[in-house]
A and B are shown apart, each in its own frame.
Chain A
Amino acid sequence: MTSEWPLWEVFIRSQHGLAHKHAGSLHAPDAEMAVRNARDVYTRRNEGVSIWVVRSSDVVASSPGDREALFDPAQSKVYRHPTFFPMPDEVKHI
């Protein structure tokens, strides 16, 4: 049996200028074929105007065990949200 084609992560930019968003993954022998396959697998219904592919093995991810250390500190900083500051009704356009 031949060696399996490497895995690629696919990111698609939809219309209206939004950022590329993870759509899924697929196997392909090289980057060029990964883009072609991504076009067939993930954009059959006008889902995108641009495709990025990245080797899955090149993605560096945070670990689930670090979830608290990474994300809990933000919970106590409610003043980072505009709703933290009540505005008097008389004040407009703010």
Chain B
Amino acid sequence: MYAQMVDTGLKKVVDATEATPEERAFQARVDADVKVEPKDWMPEAYRRTLVRQIQQHAHSEIVGMLPEGNWVTRAPSLKRKAILMAKIQDEGGHGLYLYSAAETLGVSRDDLIDDLHAGRSKYSSIFNYPTLNWADIGAIGWLVDGAAIMNQIPLCRCSYGPYARAMVRICKEESFHQRQGYDIMLAMCRGTPEQKAMAQDSLDRWWWPSLMMFGPSDAESVHSAQSMRWKIKLLSNDELRQRFVDQTVPQAEFLGLKVPDPELRWNDERGHYDVGTIDWKEFQEVLRGHGPCNRDRIRTRTKAWEDGEWVREAAVAHARKRAERAARAAA
């Protein structure tokens, strides 16, 4: 999940008896699955929460390019390199779709990017972990993109039209990401014992952070309850995490890899896997900026933005010059 623990700014779920007539009419339309479009009236808290959520989601896409970029020059073959570059380009595209969706809510992209660089806005905890060996590129596609798909498929039905439409495009492309990741894992697990050990090492490091991506249990969260009423969150964190575990464990077994959780076992009664305890302290630390790569990620992002400034300026100057020349020629 790319947007984690999104704050609604509310202390409690909006009660129908206290809601204004506009708010009630809005909720009735959401309940009837009518999409909310940019020019429609919407509660201010809905708008702000969506900006926060879509913004976090967009930031995660573009920060997610960085751990993968680390391996472009080190990919083991030209084929793998071309595939990796295509995936990274997709992530950039996903960021753009999402920033556009956020902009329909009356914010500017430059302000959103500024929020990211200044640390006012979060991105997914997962991208603060390093990519230490080539198998990590496989594990990211398989696990991280797999977890993202789990969250994004329901969001294709979310109440806000531009966000839902961006999600449809993104989901179509994500499944390439997940498959190419699993394909890397397959190749390594069918390779030499050293390659298989690299794949296992990678799973050992990415498993728990991947489960943390869904966020802590939100059964008691006011923000999640409100977001669910607004249909900008469709399933609970625990529900999504369970689905992810249930689908991923057999995939790990097929690879002949061991999921690094001694308490993991199939529960016949529930029809689901039981998992061990997640270290939420680690998650909170990473969110607070103390993960292995937080500072490095923001530094790299900021540098790319600042280094590109002259290009953005030059493009504007060129466009202005051409427009003036065309105006003079027409006069």
Contacts and interface: CB of A to CB of B under 8 A. Distances in A.
Contact of B315 (A7, A33, A44, A63): A33
Given A27-B109, A41-B96, A61-B39, A5 B166 contact: no
B40 A5 contact: no
B100 A25 contact: yes
A7 B103 contact: yes
B120 to A, nearest CB: 16
A24 B97 contact: yes
Interface string B287-331: 000000000000000000000010011011011001100000000
A3 to B, nearest CB: 7
Contacts of B322: 30
Give the size category of B's interface with A. Answer: 20 to 34
B103 A2 contact: no
Contacts of A5: 312, 315-316
Contact of A1 (B39, B110, B315, B319): B110
A12 to B, nearest CB: 12
Contact of B316 (A24, A25, A29, A40): A29
Contacts of A30: 315, 318-319, 322-323
Contacts of B318: 29-30
Interface of A: 1-5, 7, 24-27, 29-30, 33, 40-41, 44-45, 61, 63-64
Q: Which 4 A-B pairs have the closest CB atoms?
A: A30-B319, A29-B315, A29-B319, A25-B100
